[in-house]
Amino acid sequence: MIFPHFDNVELIDQIRNKYDPLANLVRPHITIVFSFESSMSNEELSQILEVRLQAIRPFFLELGGVSKHEDDFGNYLFLDVIKGAEEIKGIHRILYENEFKEYDLGYPYIPHMTIGKLPTPKLLASAYDDVKGEKSHFATMVCKISVEMIGDGDESIIVVEKELR
């Protein structure tokens, strides 16, 4: 995952607090490898990131604009990636082509930050109407990739962080 640091993150938090059931469990983030169960140790995960991300340099990330997505997993509001999408797709591809291949569900990958998950398409449409006019942009440098473990209370526990050099 990428946990970007934005000066104006409170705008993201306001939307997430209203529409994202995970808002109080995990900070705003961009998922690179989706949740999976594994017996890999934290040391193994750290080694994988060290090897696979050695050529990845810090990169500029900009988010802005809201879109809605419905798929087999739910009804989502996304904060769209404007700049940095190719770098994120590259990291996603490197990881899924190698050690995480067995966890790839085969869906097209669209870099984004989830800012809402709604129980029905109707509620998604209403939430989208509420936030679609948000024109703020969020920019930062991405300097590390994190691995999260989901705790017993569904809370986010960061177990590995790989600094990009």
Kindly report, residue by residue over 90-100, the tens digit of the pLDDT.
Answer: 999 999 999 99
Classify residue 31: in a domain, yes or no. yes
Helix ranges (H only) for the chain are 9-19, 42-52, 85-96, 121-131
Classify residue 136: in a domain, yes or no. yes
CATH of the domain at 101: 3.90.1140.10
What is the total count of domains within the chain?
1
Classify residue 2: in a domain, yes or no. no
Classify residue 1: in a domain, yes or no. no
Phi and psi dihedrals of 142, rounded to 5?
-90, 120
Write out pLDDT tens, residues 27-84: 999 999 998 988 999 999 999 999 999 999 999 999 999 999 999 889 999 999 999 9
Q: Residue 140: pLDDT band by 50, 70, 90 thresholds?
A: very high
Classify residue 76: in a domain, yes or no. yes
Instruction: Find the domain containing 73 and state its range.
Output: 9-163
User: CB-based contacts of 73: which residues, under 8 Å, 6+ apart?
Assistant: none
Output the pTM of the full model: 0.94
pLDDT at residue number 148: 95
Classify residue 4: in a domain, yes or no. no
Which DSSP letter does residue 96 get? H
pLDDT at residue number 62: 98
Q: Residue 153: pLDDT band by 50, 70, 90 thresholds?
A: confident
Largest distance between two CA atoms of the chain: 44
Alpha-carbon gap, residue 138 to 2, rounded angstroms:
14
Q: Residue 127: pLDDT band by 50, 70, 90 thresholds?
A: very high
Inter-residue contact 2 to 146 (CB < 8 Å)? yes
Neighbours of 88 (CB within 10 A): 22
